[in-house]
Amino acid sequence: MLDPTLLRTQLAETAARLRATRGYALDVAAFERLEAERKTIQVRTQELQNLRNTRSKAIGQAKAKGEDASAILAEVAGIGDELKASEARLEAVLAEVDAITSGIPNLPDPSVPLGADEGGNVEQHRWGAPRRFEFEVKDHVELGARHGWLDGEAGAKLSGSRFTVLRGDLARLHRALAQFMLNLHTGEHGYLETNVPLIVNADSMRGTGQLPKFEEDLFATELGDSRRYLIPTSEVPLTNLARGEILEAESLPQRYTAHSLCFRSEAGSGGRDVRGMIRQHQFEKVELVSVAHPAQSAEEHERMTRCAEVVLERLGLPYRRMLLCTGDMGFGAIKTFDLEVWLPSQNTYREISSCSNCGDFQARRMQSRFRNPDTGKPELVHTLNGSGVAVGRALIAVMENYQNADGSITLPEALRPYFGGAAQIA
């Protein structure tokens, strides 16, 4: 969340920035009213606490002298009743303030271009030239129908729409892609491989900003009075490893990677990408997460994005890097680079990785800090996350870019060791 001091001391300016960059309308009047009430009640609560303590001491002094303390006892009881009511109201007001602040998006970095939607995104560079085919291109669904490798009907029978069953060499290719990415990020890019829970508590979801704003996009489990959530990305558990921690400055940056299942309800996305594996309720990603010193986070953002680019280059997949505009960035990001891979069947680039610097937005929610060696005081870290990359979309890209006229798929050189040196699957 945003720094509360910013909202309390520069409310009008902050609201104007949010409207101009995010199209977000902060209810300034409501926030000012709640803040005024909070200050009044907080001052009165502290006064009552001090008064109760003072009068409670007077009771002890009176009893020690053998004096009648009944009047003071009655006074303290009355103070206690008012204090209890004041504390309850303060808690309610703070909850209302939290409800507002939890829904406010992060402020974009000054280097982010203004724009209302994806039309305002700016291309940074391209790598690789799209292949010219001498035959009619098939999409991944048609290619996957060969031998029953990709089976949406079986997925629907087992679980419903937006689920897919993979079989045979296509399932093996999917596994090989994840293995390749993990090996690259751990062996060459310096990320620590981590195996994390797929089900997390509400505190973890709040820490990275999925709650309360995006609850409708989440799958949840209920067991007795306990409600937990299936992760939409391993960004959630990886980033929350630092929740409530005070890290040593010399340990930064801390870099983690994980291959995990991810679950999203895709609420409100009906009609988009319903064919095949582009947009699934269950999918897999190799995630990259960094916990960084604030002075290092911009450099770390570039580094992380480059690590994701190397995945696509090793696979020989044409892509472009996009700098997202203010209106297309995620809720918690200050700056985001998207990598879009070329899909021949759609004759366009489609997102396969999104790498974001969240600044101290998540860290403030999580109270994730490092100790400043100069002052000895804890300060908020910066958190970053990115796909390194989405496994299912990488599978689609390999299938379509490496397809042959007879429906077989040539394997990129980087993946052949996972197939005993075979050059294609047929």
Could you list the residues known to form a binding site, using ranges: 233-235, 264-266, 287, 351-354, 385, 387
Task: Give the residue numbers annotated as catalytic, written as ranges.
Answer: 264, 279, 351, 354, 393
> How far apart, in whole angstroms, are the C-alpha atoms of residue 281 and residue 265?
6
Q: List, in sequence order, the alpha helices (H) in 315-354.
A: none
Query: Which region, left, alpha or beta, applies to residue 309 given φ > 0 means left and ψ of -120 to 50 means alpha?
Result: alpha
Of 391, 310, 398, nearest to 352 by C-alpha is 391
Q: Which residues pair with 291 in a beta bridge?
A: 254, 383
| Tokens matching residue 47 | 């006064």
- Using only the alpha carbons of the chain, give its radius of gyration: 27
Of 39, 201, 22, nearest to 103 by C-alpha is 22
The CA distances from residue 238 to 2, 38, 166, 256, in Å, are: 21, 35, 27, 7
Dihedral over Cα of 235, 237, 242, 245: its sign: positive
Which are the contacts of 376, defined by CB distance < 8 A and separation ≥ 6? none
> How far apart, in whole angstroms, are the C-alpha atoms of residue 351 and residue 393?
8
| Tokens matching residue 13 | 């300016």
> How far apart, in whole angstroms, are the C-alpha atoms of residue 240 and residue 37?
33
| Tokens matching residue 75 | 């006074």
Q: What are the φ/ψ torsions at residue 195 (nearest 5 degrees)?
A: -110, 120
Q: State the burial class of residue 93 (Cβ atoms within 10 Å of its Cβ: 0-12, 13-18, 19+).
A: buried
Annotated binding site for L-serine: 233-235, 264, 287, 385, 387
Of 290, 305, 320, nearest to 381 by C-alpha is 290
Annotated binding site for ATP: 264-266, 351-354
Which are the contacts of 336, defined by CB distance < 8 A and separation ≥ 6? 323, 324, 329, 330, 354, 355, 356, 357
> Angle 333-338-341 (CA atoms, 0-180°, nearest 5)?
160
